[in-house]
Structure 1
Amino acid sequence: MAQKIILGIIWLVFVIYAFFFAPPNQPDTLDLIINLSTGKWDGINPIITSLFNIMGIWPIIYSGVIITDGRMQKIPAWPFALFSFAVGAFAILPYLILRQPNSNFDGQKTLLLKIVDSRWIGLSATLGTIAFLFYAFSMGDSSNFIQQWQTSRFIHVMSLDFCLLCLLFPILLKDDMIRRGLKNNVLFWLVSLVPLLGSAIYLMIRPPLRETTID
């Protein structure tokens, strides 16, 4: 219960901060989002481009654990996973608040579960993460990014969203590891302490779920 209260407070504070206290929206925000979405990256700081695309990788990673976790929950997980592609942690936090800790998996895997349980998802997320991290660190302008972070609500909130997704993943990780028979504290901390890349690699190396027959 204490965890749910803390997560509820974090979600409420994040919503209030994002809409009322973050830097104001800039006039070119919509154009920036359209250009980022359509691959027109010329003139855009590679750090911002990479961050925007990484925010599309995070929901894929979360789907790899949330869809499985939701199988044993009273609430469906897929709507939260779906909306996380648009709003990130704004959608993930409510699921974490409503779910119950559960490390079991019973029954057969549906087509959706087979897809998110595939190691190809982890491989794709890992390669995408490495590519965008390299692009950001090798070609990005950190001073320009800091300046935009201080003045643009879109970039400011997106950055905070990224940080929240990094911090929240271990909540689901522990149950997912037990569900797969992975009782390895070293692996848990390695994945937890290496933001994003550790989570992507985990999806790539974890053993698949074992299906069971329900009598």
Structure 2
Amino acid sequence: MKLVVLMLLLLYTFFIAPGAGSQEDLLFQQLVTGQFNEVDPLVVTVFSMLGVYPIIFAMLLIPKDHYRWAAWPFVLFSFVLGAFSLLTYFIFRKNKTYDKPRGPKLLHKSLVHPISVSIVLIIAVSLYVNGSGGSLTAYQQAFMSSHLVSVMTIDLFVLIWLSYDVLKNEWNLRFSWLAFIPAIGPLVLLLKHKNLQQ
């Protein structure tokens, strides 16, 4: 399934996604140079979510890293490549080969500590607040005119689905469907899980 999603994402990115390329894409230049005041707040929120999700996946994958291929390089690359990097990890990580998660316990505990999760949750909520000042019409126009916006939108949908898949199948959490609430859902589930453990 994940291989099919990766192939479809690649097909969309290189052959289907509408909008101008990076050289002619004004939104691309504004977003990557941090000129957020010039861009619709909803577009900025989605762009910023792609910076929050790698942190969420660090919390989800590194404390559960029992597999042959280490998770952390793919999480790190996901800051740039998004779902492309994480899908590659899920496809090629092979079977579980370690009885205990790879890496120091202190790192695992700090990643899913309620304080760490709460900080990222506050950031996610602030993005929602910022995005509430945006316009769906402006976002639709940005989607059709900017290759970056069209690709990052689909990338975000894939990341949301992947977070649901991990929370359901590897964390075995009830109410894993909450992961479909972008960013906030997975973080609330992690907080709830830690509170139950304590």
Shift of 1:28: 2.2
Which amino acid is the alignment partner of residue 85 of structure 2? A
The equivalent position to 2:36 in structure 1, one of 41, 62, 77, is 41
TM-score by length of 2: 0.85
CA distance in 2: counterparts of 1:134 and 1:30, whole angstroms: 23
Shift of 1:203: 2.4
The equivalent position to 2:81 in structure 1, one of 77, 87, 101, is 87
**For residue 150 of structure 2, what is the aligned residue in structure 1?**
156
**For residue 166 of structure 2, what is the aligned residue in structure 1?**
172
Q: How many residues align?
A: 191
Q: Do the aligned residues in 1 keep the contact of 2:30 with 2:38 (CA within 8 Å)?
A: no
- C-alpha change, 1:120 and 1:175, in structure 2 (3 Å) is farther
Which amino acid is the alignment partner of residue 183 of structure 2? L
**For residue 197 of structure 1, what is the aligned residue in structure 2?**
184
Which amino acid is the alignment partner of residue 80 of structure 1? F
Larger radius of gyration: 1
List aligned pairs for 1:95-134, cutoff 5 A.
95-99=89-93, 106=100, 109-134=104-129
5+ residue gaps, structure 2, are: none
- C-alpha change, 1:118 and 1:105, in structure 2 (3 Å) is farther
Identity %: 24
Which amino acid is the alignment partner of residue 204 of structure 1? L
3-state DSSP class of the match of 1:207?
helix
Shift of 1:82: 0.3
Shift of 1:174: 2.7
5+ residue gaps, structure 1, are: 1-5, 211-215
Shift of 1:109: 3.9
TM-score by length of 1: 0.79
Q: Please report the RMSD computed on the Cα atoms of aligned residues, expressed in angstroms.
A: 2.4
Q: Do the aligned residues in 2 keep the contact of 1:192 with 1:199 (CA within 8 Å)?
A: yes
Shift of 1:105: 6.1
Mean CA deviation greater in 139-148 or 106-115: 106-115
